[in-house]
Amino acid sequence: MMTTNLYLRKMKNMAIIGVVLLLFSCGNSEKLEPKELIIPTKEKQFPVLDSSRYNVGFLIMDGVYNTELTTPFDIFQHTVFRKNIKAMNVFTVADKDDAVITFEGMRIVPDYNYLTDSLPKIDILVVPSAEHHLDSDLENKAMIGFVQQVDKEAKFITSHCDGAFVLAKAGLLEGKVATTFPSDIDAMRVMFPSLDIRKDVLFVHDGKYITSAGGAKSFEAALYLSEYLYGEQVAQSLAGGLVIDWDLASVPHLIIKQD
């Protein structure tokens, strides 16, 4: 009997405590409402550039082709592993902060936005080919203006495949010899009738401009510039590191003028 009474008293006390807690929570319900989560804006992070190196900017946009971008990017980036040379800082530049979607579907977040960011001086500008380099991209006045501005101080401007159309639209190839993607040479001659566009070569070097046929042969133009800057031994080392057979003498090319 005593055990039963003790049990009933405990149950009664628990019930009273439950009612008190319920009343307390109802009276303070506003304190239990979830608060809006505030996420601080993360400051944009820019690549750290070694001031003793060449700055190499790759101009990218939606529809850029993987090969014309990654091929020279690999060659130039690997210069940081070679000793006693002025290596290269490589980075991408676009007209937006959001990811660029390549023609093949790769998502690439640009390092710099040339419309809003303060860019480092670009010593070498690389213009890979993109899906609309024969039409709508050439109407992008901001992009063409960016290329023209970089040209004022750059040591070299290089293009791969239809990137040559961008250089031509910017007026950089006037009085120069150039080349482009083999099947687009005739189209380039029609669009820019005053230019000297050559066939049957993988790249042309005229002054500070190097234009290439592009595709997998973008390696040749990038290795050529590496050999021009660093010598044959370094170029052979870069090629070997990427398992590429490199012999400049065996590559169809044309050198008009070397600055």
Question: Helices (H) and strands (E) in the chain — how many of each?
Answer: 7, 12
Beta carbons within 8 Å of 212's beta carbon, 6+ residues apart: 158, 159, 160, 161, 179, 202, 203, 204, 218, 220, 221
Confidence (pLDDT) at 34: 53
Pair type for strands 100-101 and 124-127: unpaired
Beta carbons within 8 Å of 258's beta carbon, 6+ residues apart: 205, 228
This prediction has a pTM of 0.83
For 153-194, write each residue's pLDDT tens digit.
999 999 999 999 999 999 999 999 999 999 999 999 999 999
For 6-32, write each residue's pLDDT tens digit.
544 555 555 544 544 444 444 444 444
Amino acid at 168: A
Query: Considering the chain, what is the average pLDDT of its residues?
Result: 89
Report which of 161, 146, 170 is spatially closest to residue 219, judged by C-alpha positions.
Answer: 161
CA separation for the pair 198, 182 (Å, rounded): 9
Percent of the chain with pLDDT over 90: 81
For 37-71, write each residue's pLDDT tens digit.
555 556 788 999 999 999 999 999 999 999 999 99
